[in-house]
Structure 1
Amino acid sequence: MNWKKYENQVFSYFKNRYPNSQIEQNIFIIGQLSKTKRQIDLLLEEIVAGYKIRIVIECKDWNKPLDVADVEQFVQKLNDVRISKGVIIAKSGYTKAAKEYIKNTGDINLHVLKFEDLGKFQGFYGFTYRGIHGAIVTPPNGWIIDAQVPKQMIENGGLCLMYPMELEAKDSFKEKNLIYFDITELDEFENCDNLLDIFLKNQEENIEKYDNKSSVEYKTENSKIGEIKIRITKYPNHHYTETAGFSSEGKLIVAIYGMHKHNEEEEFRHHIKFIFDQIQLITLYGSDPKNSHKDWSLLLNSTTSNAKSKTFKHN
């Protein structure tokens, strides 16, 4: 793949993900400091609450990780064109020093997109289900969704796994940097207003058994599918924190669990709210050969199987 094809694929990815935004490719902006034309791979513009948000997206189809000097050049370009938000999309990732440098530079994100590696079980959207209850799930920005859920997570209820694009699944576990999604129908209970409270109380008993020094805190958030309950659980004995979100409808519990390092609760709370805002819940009563339901449009050209989740990518 040459650099132009890679840039076109990045353009298509953002165009599909942000259909209401204006995205320009390969444009030039006069630098306020240099007084010369600065080339911009992609410029994304969107109006939010009456304000124009501009994001510069740089594409790097390199065979080696980007280092500090490479990231620093991008920051200098942003300063020159007076745009504060930027994203670098790199095929081969970044050095540890580059990642450390970017932490102190403001609204800059480092993402990795390896389009040729987005195989059968990875993508930017996922369709996952248990029984007749399914959902189309979108991971947070810069993350990928994976249908190959490890055995131990399936046993714990996970239907699909999400992690940063620059990581592999095994690394996300090692680095405590992952999110997993689950749908549970509580058939053993009658419909009641406090069904979610019963579900969470049962989980708290298991949390105490898992780590006798654990602490649990709850918050409430509003999302597009309604009110969600955020639970922050610290596991001192196991050296990580879990930030989770829950929503209930009748006997159905939708749960999103984030495993991360301590002091990253706010970041993962935003991730979980993003997923809830994007989620599309589906009830699978039977076959639909005409694909009449609007949400089935995402499943065209896909075959149904006994798998619990599928993922899709945009080409």
Structure 2
Amino acid sequence: MIFDTEPQNWTELQDYVGQMFNECGFETEISKVVELVRGKKEIDVYTQDTKSEYKPTILVECKFWNKPISQETIHSFRTVVADFGANVGFIVSKNGFQKGSYEAAQKTNIKLVSLKELEYEYYSKWKQAMVEKYMPFADRLFPYWDYPGKMPEDGGTINFELQQLISAAYTPIRRIGPTDQMRDGFKRNYPMKLPVLDDDFNQVGELEINTDRQYFDFVEENKDRAFEQFKKLYRE
């Protein structure tokens, strides 16, 4: 799924939701004050999918309560969503919802979910957005490992085994490609084990990647380092 850890308090729950929508490429604000028919209201997470055809606006209420959410809370939030004119409203609950809450949300644009259920709903969009974000960095490395590949500008040779070792160390970046942008793209088999290299290309350890979150975190942390190490190998 999108997150490997669980939020420990209300602020973290709100931040997780905001981060997810932001990584999906949506325009997102946390604790946004919006204008309603009868005054103003602070929304936990406001987000809009500006890349889609009809650009839906989404309001999210985060409830880190130790008890299920009541139907009164649903009715209140439904009024907020309607007054603002949002397309969808999510209530994200730590401990579920009372039976009457589901009845209150029927035939409305309010969805009652846990954080994991929200992640599941947006998982595909999240993957595609992350691939789109990091594709330029994979393209930047492509000439260094694609056969027959580029040659050093000084006309000399490179150590092929070392080139393969560096390629292995940055496999997550190299493997991002056009097929990942397909609707059902980006499917990785975990665990994925990578050699860890120092600045002189010596292997100093091994890293294991087990989730998509760890995969993209690795790409974010190493996208520039990978490029610099390939440039160093090719004496650029």
Q: Tell me the TM-score normalised to structure 1 length.
A: 0.38
- More helix per residue: 1 or 2? 2
> In terms of Rg, which structure is larger?
2
- More strand per residue: 1 or 2? 1
